[in-house]
Amino acid sequence: MEKRQELYAGKAKSVYATDDPDLLVLHFRDDTSAFDGERMESLARKGMVNNRFNAFIMERLQAAGIPTHFVKRLSDTESLVKKLEMIPVECVVRNLAAGGLVRRLGVEEGKELVPPTFELFLKNDALHDPMINESLAETFGWATPEQLAEMKALTFRVNEVLKQLFADGGLLLVDYKLEFGLFKGQIVLGDEFSPDGCRLWDAETRNKMDKDRFRQGLGGVIEAYEEVGRRIGIGFD
Ligand code: 5GP
């Protein structure tokens, strides 16, 4: 497999073509962004930590029967993935109230959500990823009702696998965002799963151990990501 030209540079990852039209290389950079790219910083080791974190989680999900784009980790900061036709919709599941839900509905942070909630957002930085629903996604052609049903089912299956995985490490999976795409017509989990796109709290102290440390200027961002990784069995050396 040969890495070829850069196709796209996102806020934290760059995507490269390969000599195989079905495969891409994801390069996890040290860049960190918040508030739709308004705040950007480089955090040493972040690319390596998130690449290893994502590889570990994607392998666990794959083993649990959830189709993912992940093929293999190539280096400290690069992974090989299947090329998906991305669906511009973010799927969010919440087990506990935090972030946008607290702001929008005024519920108390940390309230347990039974059953867990499921929300859709349009992936569009210029519009600040507005909340959407199935009707809007269908009408505007972002995803079909069948694709949305499959994405919802897969997003909840991910919850069952990861809630337990993190619980075993003394962590609460508060919420997370997933993105899906199509590979030869099949809905497949894409993008990444790392503490950049989920909330993880220490189960005892409720300390935040995810990207909220960066968003809220709490410091110790990468140290927290590494601590989460160590607790669930990821080695970073
Ligand atoms: P909220 O709606 O509370 O801002 O986000 C819910 C969950 O989805 C959080 O775990 C948050 O990190 C994740 N999330 C939502 N939108 C994005 C996004 O555009 N980028 C990243 N990295 N995570 C997101």
Residues 6+ apart with CB under 8 A from 63: none
Is the peptide bond between 130 and the residue preceding it cis, with omega within 30 degrees of 0?
Answer: no
At residue 10, the pLDDT reads: 95
Q: Left (φ > 0), alpha (ψ -120 to 50) or beta: where does 28 sit?
A: beta
Q: Where in the chain do CATH 3.30.200.20 domains reside?
A: 3-82
In which residue are the tokens 């619980």 written?
167
Ligand 1 atom showing the smallest separation from residue 198 Cα: 10
Q: Which atom of ligand 1 is the closest one to the Cα of 101? A: 3
Tell me what pLDDT residue 40 has: 94
Tokens of 37: 């790219």
pLDDT number for residue 236:
87
How far is 134 from 143, CA to CA, in rounded Å?
Answer: 8
* Superfamily grouping for domain 85-220: ATP-grasp fold, B domain (3.30.470.20)
Closest CA to 124 of 154, 92, 87: 87
Q: Kindly tell me the burial class for residue 114, based on how many C-beta atoms sit within 10 Å of its own C-beta (0-12, 13-18, 19 or more).
A: exposed
Q: Exposed/middle/buried for 15, CB within 10 Å: 0-12, 13-18, 19+?
A: middle
Distance 20 CA to ligand 1 centre (A): 32
CATH 3.30.470.20 location in the chain: 85-220
Pocket of ligand 1 (CB under 6 A): 90, 92, 98-101, 129, 175-177, 196-199, 211
Tens of pLDDT, residues 178-213: 999 999 999 999 999 999 999 999 999 999 999 999
Q: What is the pLDDT of residue 37?
A: 86
Q: How far is the CA of 168 from the centre of ligand 1 (A)?
A: 23
What is the reported pLDDT for 197?
A: 98
Rg (alpha carbons) of the chain, rounded to whole number: 17
Q: What angle do CA 169, 170, 173 make, to 5 degrees?
A: 90
pLDDT at 42: 97
Which pLDDT belongs to residue 165? 98
Q: For the beta carbon of residue 81, count every other beta carbon within 10 angstroms.
A: 25
Q: Is the pLDDT of residue 237 over 80?
A: no
Cα gap 105→99, rounded to integer Å = 10
| Count of residues making up the chain | 237
Write out the DSSP string of 34-78. ETTTTEEEE-TTHHHHHHHHHHHHHHHHHHTT--BSEEEE-SSSE
- Structure confidence by residue, pLDDT tens digits, 68-88: 999 999 999 999 999 999 999
- The string of pLDDT tens digits covering residues 108-165 is 999 999 999 999 999 999 999 999 999 999 999 999 999 999 999 999 999 999 999 9
- Model confidence pLDDT, tens digit, residues 2-13: 999 999 999 999
pLDDT tops 90 at residue 36: no
- Ligand 1 centroid vs 197 CA: distance in angstroms? 5
Q: Whose CA is nearest to atom 23 of ligand 1?
A: 197
- Report the topology of domain 3-82: Phosphorylase Kinase; domain 1 (3.30.200)
CA of 146 to the centre of ligand 1 (A): 24
